[in-house]
A = this chain, B = another copy of it.
Amino acid sequence: MAISLAHFGVDSHFVTRLPPNPVGDAALRVLRAEGVGIDAVQRGGERMGIYFVEAGASQRPWSIAYDRAHSAISELDPSSLDWPKLLRDVAWFHTSGITPALGPGPAESTRRAVQAARELGVTVSLDFNYRRMLWSASSAKEVLPSLVRYVDVLFAGEDDLRTFLGIPIPHGALDPASLDLRACETAAARVVSEYGVRQLAITLRENLSASHNGWSALLYDGPSKTLHRGPRHVVHLVDRIGAGDSFVAGLVFAQLDGKPLDQALRFAVAASALKQTIPGDFNRVSVAEVERLGDAEDGGRVRR
């Protein structure tokens, strides 16, 4: 997310906690290489969370084994972060539902962050990113809805809306194969009116195979009461990890850049489609590279 924004030329900073050992050093080195500001990275804790990935192919799914118990960030002390100071002169603050899932410290820190951001007039976005291997739905339900009160732009899926926000929505309404645009619109409007968010963004993935996925997204805009539908790209997957984050980064950049909604959504969908053609977690594409893709499935000529 922060890395993708840095590649779009945005002055982006990452607030996290890394252990004071060579593994933490290596993480810092990577952030620095990709151009992310690291002045708000705290050093401390026992270990860095890691994960092991088996790349999927065709019918064989990608498989991730997480090993992030007791990570430095999970033992974050909320009082160690001075959010009003960290957020000074910041235009946008983004956080993910994974952070509060990591423990009471990160959860409290997230709450303080979004509250401070709202008070300072910083735009706040949240990606639900619910992971049932990290916490139960009932634990998440105690935390996530209360964060949404401070959120301007929410990234969520069908189950998230139903389970955490209590929005009634027909099963499969957000499934690309049976997309019910009217039901989406109704549900999105309720999220806006009940939770005070400004926009709701929803990514749409079609699992054509483990190698080929359809990829698109919806964006509901509260003020204009309009539902926008992005273009659909069929991606020959290289690495699907990081698709969600790169979509967020695309939408954040495009709105900061003042693009109109349709164009912003198009940019975010194209950016995250490109991410899935890049090995590794990072979306290293530039604004020009995203815009060159445009809407069309124009494939990739050699540029020379």
Give chain A's interface residues, CB within 8 Å of chain B. Answer: 21-23, 29-30, 32-35, 46-48, 52, 54, 56-67, 69-70, 131, 133, 207-213, 233-238, 240-241, 270, 273-274, 276-278, 285, 289, 292-293, 297-304
Contact = CB atoms under 8 A, between A and B. Distances in A.
A233 B274 CA distance: 26
A47 B270 CA distance: 31
Nearest to A299: B207
Q: Which of A57, A213, A234, A241 has the most CB of B within 10 A?
A: A57
Contacts of A207: 298-301
Contacts of A241: 302
Nearest to A304: B64
B234 A209 contact: yes
B22 A33 contact: no
A10 to B, nearest CB: 15
Nearest to A279: B57
Contacts of A63: 22, 302-304
Contact of A60 (B131, B209, B277): B277
Contacts of A211: 236, 299
A52 B47 CA distance: 12
A297 B207 CA distance: 9
A159 to B, nearest CB: 14
B59 A273 contact: yes
Contact of A67 (B47, B54, B299, B304): B47
The 4 tightest CB contacts between A and B, nearest first, are A210-B300, A61-B300, A33-B33, A207-B299
A302 B238 contact: no
22 contacts: A22-B54, A22-B63, A23-B65, A30-B33, A33-B33, A47-B67, A58-B237, A58-B238, A59-B293, A60-B278, A60-B300, A61-B302, A62-B301, A62-B302, A62-B303, A63-B302, A63-B303, A64-B303, A207-B300, A210-B299, A212-B236, A212-B299
